[in-house]
Amino acid sequence: MTFPPLGRLGHHRLADGRSAFRVFAPEKLALRIVFDDGRAPLVLHSDALGYWSAATEALPAGTRYRVEVDGAAWPDPASRRQPDGVHGPSEVVDIVPAASPGWRGVEIEDAVIYELHVGTFTPEGTLAAATRRLGHLAALGVNVVELMPLAAFPGERNWGYDGVQPFALHAAYGSWAELRQFIEQAHALGIAVLLDAVYNHFGPEGNYSGQFAPYTRAAATPWGAAINFDGEYAYGVREYFAENLRFWIEDVGFDGVRLDAASEIHDNSPVPIVRELSELAREIGRRQRRTVLTIAEHLRNNARVTAADGLGCDAQWNDDLNHALVAWLTGERWRHYASFGRFEDVVTALARGWVLDGTRLDRFRRHFTGSDPASTLPREHVVHVQNHDQVGNRPGGERLAALVGPERALLAAVAMFASPFVPMLFMGEEWGETAPFLFFEDFGDRRVVRGVRAGRRAENGFVPGFDPPNPHARSTFLAAKLRWQRAATPKGRFVLERYRTLIALKRAGDLGPRERGAVQVAGDAATKLVRLAAPRTLTWLNLGPDEQAIAVPEGWTEVLCSTPTRTPGRLPGHAAIVFRAGA
């Protein structure tokens, strides 16, 4: 697909240095830019498609303004900064793209992904503090960092999926210069940086997009009205989000995006917006001679998400390995675990990628979810044993190490790395973090606060008598912060060293190589042993409670075991071991 040049939106600089504004507002009668410093308003002029624009002298960074629409003033829908929060004025900023000479990115087949939330990754909760921790991630061996959403949202704290200003960096995380420093330092350490982009809905407070154009429509997502990608004036809405993707990748310097809840992006257009976005990302990558990735959180096990003649994404999140392992290790069968819990589910997830492949009833969704994964490649599946949703949407926000202990959580991690799929970690799991990660927010609208509280209670109604921690309480947010000191404890060091070994083996192509058929998976329902054989590694998983005898080819050497001690030739219950040829 060939893309026409996208028009810049909001405030931007022209080639001669002057300031210009462009706003999509069809069917409006008059638009002006009104300034907080008392200077004369700037009158905008409309074209035939409903875009309003004008240029003026160079406005200094820090100039605050609003967009007046038919007499009422609102924040700029493409604001780059909201210094007083999402309800206040917008601010002129100059953004210098991250400069990483020679940087070419990371291919999806080589990726080891680390998901983090800036606000809880460090005690400070800022980009500057996160930059100081990048050395830890480089030593761990991950080469892709995925930042949970950064777009401005109401208040101080939130997971980020309630953003209402997609072009603005949430002020509490720091400045654009600090984000640039984070990206440049990551690149210097060989780490690509992805942004979690939310293009399926706006948050429930501070969304003023409807004052300009029909950005949303009646179709509902679980979090509110859907984005209008195929209704009246959808051409301007599509350009808005395409320009947003271009902005974060080209103007800021990200190496790609994770498309949040792509299955909730409702679009009946001839060319779906997700395909348009994936092709735009690739075009930017070709132009800049670097790899730019699009990963979809689709969660319907749909092979067309990554198909060349489908949505064309590089990969998609695959929850089935997580659900199979967690259901097996915990015995839980509620909500999305209802279709899992058998030993065979773990074997199938390791061997094929999807357990729900359209041939069996999904008891959570109450229909036949999924498609045959045979047409997909292993690199098209991003698997995990923990992520923000799988932890944060539990009644108590429990991480896997808190549920089953650090050694059984490590067993699950070995299974993930030994599979042929793309592994993803959730921050802190590399040392067995047990701090809860629950949903938290800081909305100012009391009706929204009450609604969120009621929603969380309703979702956790399957646990009789359990009242989940209050999402609005600051203590819920503070409890979610990583406890870095745990990494230095004996248990933390034990888990951390094994994660480093697993990642090194994965990146070397020894453990779970990504070629189809390179990993042979076999399970024994009687002993509960799973064997994953690759050309240079042999992995045994004991998913049962009893110690079992294991066979190892002559000349192969143990490189990792998930338990501190074992008897030669045998594997303890709920443990994993990895051997390498000639090591």
Is residue 546 in a domain?
Answer: yes
Phi, psi of 518 (to 5 degrees): -75, -20
What digits encode the pLDDT tens for the residues 434-486? 999 999 999 999 999 999 998 888 876 566 777 889 999 999 999 999 999 99
Nearest to 376 by CA among 318, 294, 291: 318
Nearest to 35 by CA among 18, 17, 16, 60: 60
296, 257 contact by CB (below 8 A): no
What length does the chain have?
Answer: 583
Of 42, 61, 91, which residue constitutes the final position of a domain? Answer: 91
Residue 440 confidence (pLDDT): 96
Residues of 46-63 as b/e, b for ≥16 C-beta within 10 angstroms?
A: beeebbbbbeeeebeeeb
Helix axes 406-418, 320-330, angle to 10 degrees: 150
Of 91, 121, 143, which residue constitutes the final position of a domain? Answer: 91
Active site residues: 260, 297
Q: Which residues on adjacent β-strands are paired with residue 56?
A: 19
Residue 5 confidence (pLDDT): 54
- The angle formed by the CA atoms of residues 73, 77 and 80, to the nearest 5 degrees, is 110
Is residue 239 in a domain?
Answer: no
Q: Which residues on adjacent β-strands are paired with residue 382?
A: 317, 422
426, 384 contact by CB (below 8 A): yes
Q: In angstroms, how far is CA 268 from the centroid of its own chain?
A: 25
Number of structural domains the chain divides into: 2
The two three-digit tokens of residue 253, written as one number: 């310097």
Residue 49 confidence (pLDDT): 96
Range of the domain at 29: 10-91
DSSP string, 104-138: ----GGG--EEEE-HHHHSSS-SHHHHHHTHHHHH
Nearest to 255 by CA among 228, 226, 227, 282: 282
Is residue 531 in a domain?
Answer: yes
Helix (H) or strand (E) holding 254: none
Rounded CA separation 116/191 (Å): 14
Is residue 577 in a domain?
Answer: yes
The residue to which tokens 């997971």 are assigned: 159
Of 75, 91, 107, which residue constitutes the final position of a domain? Answer: 91
E runs forming strands in 244-301: 256-259, 293-296
Contacts 24+ apart (CB under 8 A), 168-173: 168/79, 168/80, 168/81, 168/82, 168/90, 169/80, 169/81, 171/81, 171/82, 171/83, 171/85, 172/119, 172/125, 172/126, 173/118, 173/119, 173/125, 173/126, 173/127
Nearest to 445 by CA among 207, 254, 240: 207
Q: Residue 52 corresponds to which amino acid?
A: W
The residue to which tokens 């990554």 are assigned: 306
Is residue 30 in a domain?
Answer: yes
- Report the C-alpha dihedral over residues 216, 222, 224, 226, rounded to 10 degrees: 0
The CATH number linked to 27 is 2.60.40.10
The two three-digit tokens of residue 292, written as one number: 């730019």
The CATH number linked to 541 is 2.60.40.1180
Is residue 18 in a domain?
Answer: yes
Could you tell me the pTM of the whole model? 0.97
34, 250 contact by CB (below 8 A): no
Residue 229 confidence (pLDDT): 97
Residue 461 confidence (pLDDT): 58
Is residue 412 in a domain?
Answer: no
Is residue 42 in a domain?
Answer: yes
Q: In angstroms, how far is CA 161 from the centroid of its own chain?
A: 10
Q: Is 371 left (phi over 0), alpha (psi -120 to 50) or beta?
A: beta
Question: In whole angstroms, how far apart are CA 58 and each of 73, 81, 139, 177?
Answer: 22, 17, 45, 20
Q: Which residues on adjacent β-strands are paired with residue 114?
A: 145, 425
> pLDDT 10s per residue in the chain (583 long)?
444 456 899 999 999 999 999 999 999 999 999 999 999 999 999 999 999 999 999 999 999 999 999 999 999 999 999 999 999 999 999 999 989 999 999 999 999 999 999 999 999 999 999 999 999 999 999 999 999 999 999 999 999 999 999 999 999 999 999 999 999 999 999 999 999 999 999 999 999 999 999 999 887 888 888 999 999 999 999 999 999 999 999 999 999 999 999 999 999 999 999 999 999 999 999 999 999 999 999 999 999 999 999 999 999 999 999 999 999 999 999 888 999 999 999 999 999 999 999 999 888 888 999 999 999 999 999 999 999 999 998 989 999 999 999 999 999 999 999 999 999 999 999 999 999 999 999 999 999 999 999 888 887 656 677 788 999 999 999 999 999 999 999 999 999 999 999 999 999 999 999 998 999 999 999 999 999 999 999 999 999 999 999 999 899 999 999 999 999 999 999 999 999 998 6
280, 3 contact by CB (below 8 A): yes
Helix (H) or strand (E) holding 250: none
Rounded CA separation 5/521 (Å): 48
First to last CA, the chain: 48
DSSP string, 462-518: TSTT--PPPTTSHHHHHHTS--GGGGGSHHHHHHHHHHHHHHHHHHTT-SS-SSTTS
Residue 181 confidence (pLDDT): 98
